[in-house]
Structure 1
Amino acid sequence: MPIPDGPTTYRELAELLRGRIEGGEYPPGEKLPNIEELMETYELARQTVRAAINQLASEGLVRTVTRKGTYVQARLGRRRVRRNHVVTRSRAGMYIFPAAAYPDEPWQTHGTPHRSMEAAPEVVAEQFGVEVGSEVLRRRRVMSPEEEPPFQIVDTWLSPQAVADAPQIAEKSTGPGGYLERLEEAGHGPISWSEITRTRMPSAEEASLLQIPGVLPVMEMILVGRSGRTEDALEVTIRVIPGDRVELVADLVRDASAQWPLRTAEPKE
């Protein structure tokens, strides 16, 4: 029996389900009624119900698991991170880059970090000057703050020249200071970096690793490290973070031309 005065559009259905999720009727981990049940309950077309579910998924409220159903996602809230552009070193000698993390916060790795030869995506191939799809060494980690679901995928791609000059960076252990220390020891110091931040839709693999719906955009942070000797790109590190997990904050600095109060030219006599 349909509910009187029920939703008639996908937006209305999404609003109704959103209210029940936020009100606790469907807590995190709870399975929502399936599409057929929602169609029957509200006398809505399949495409209308599916559009409502996709809307909630794009907001990070639910995630659909193939052949299992749609489940409510835990809402972790956005991490408000103040960004800077300073690279430091840890006591252990490792470089520390600006990241979506709080100082001294413990992090964990999901699964086992691994390295393998993979087909270079366009952004990596362009930086290394190789053909798209060429096999390039990739080191991958999936990480998060302790006791939280996967927060980011970190892929470090190392150029063929980098591996040839510092073979240890292709091994399981890169030694004290990590792969960057090995590259600088091999004559590429000091390495310099530039960063690109953009948004895009996740691949199916990325959505699975991050445990997010495929319709939720991700933030992609691309760090390119260049040789101090040749200026060639040696490494491209790509961080992929769900779009609902973080917001970046930076302070703006006034240029001399924007000082206050405004100084006007002295009148000529």
Structure 2
Amino acid sequence: MLEIVQIPVLSDNYVYLLHEGVSGQTAVVDPAEAEPVLAALAQRRWTLDYVLNTHHHWDHVGANPALKQATGCRVVGFRGDARRIPGIDVQLAEGDVFELGECRARVLEVPGHTLGHVAYWFEADAALFCGDTLFALGCGRLFEGTPAQMWDSLCKLRMLPDQTWVYCAHEYTLKNARFALTIEPDHPPLLERVRRVEALRAQDLPTVPSLLGEEKATNPFLRADVPELQASLGMAGAPAVEVFAELRRRRDRF
């Protein structure tokens, strides 16, 4: 069973330590800074074996070189973006399986935020590490990809089981919630979720991870093909990718 430790870094990033107890192997997902990771490892007397990168942005790969130097770990990332992943040792692509001891993660290509973005889905552990593709109540900006690419990527993630925990890489949920209310202000599941998000953030508590089933019910970016949401935008019957693109445009200006 996968033990997951959430480490807040920078202003709003989350880094994750993953530990498989039988083998004792440990990985870190998207390390922006080395010192908080090394401190968390030392506290638990764990040895770092792998870095798992979802994409090349500095706040996800910035600590790769320092962690390799300090621990001798191996860096894992997307084969198609290897030139932008510092220190990459293991190159993976869609459908490949990464093994951390007895835990197995399937690699999913999810371009949109960047052209070389991947997610790691530990099916047996109901854990999805999706970087900046899917957020709690949101999704990543389209820095490199197209709306069609991002919508396809979100649909791919939406097909995973409702019981999947979504470990995204940023604490953006409160602002995402306020934006979602501008789209579906009378959607009961969203209203209830926003109350919980506000209560957590008022106590400086994380809103991540979130359940994928709840994202499907409340995240506007996963609902671009839902008639009620389309109607709220005045886009009833429009192609889902066009609705998604309008949602993303509005969020960019929010």
Q: TM-score, normalised by structure 1?
A: 0.24
Q: TM-score, normalised by structure 2?
A: 0.25
- Larger RCO: Structure 1 or Structure 2 (Cα < 8 Å, ≥ 6 residues apart)? 1
- Greater helix share, structure number: 2
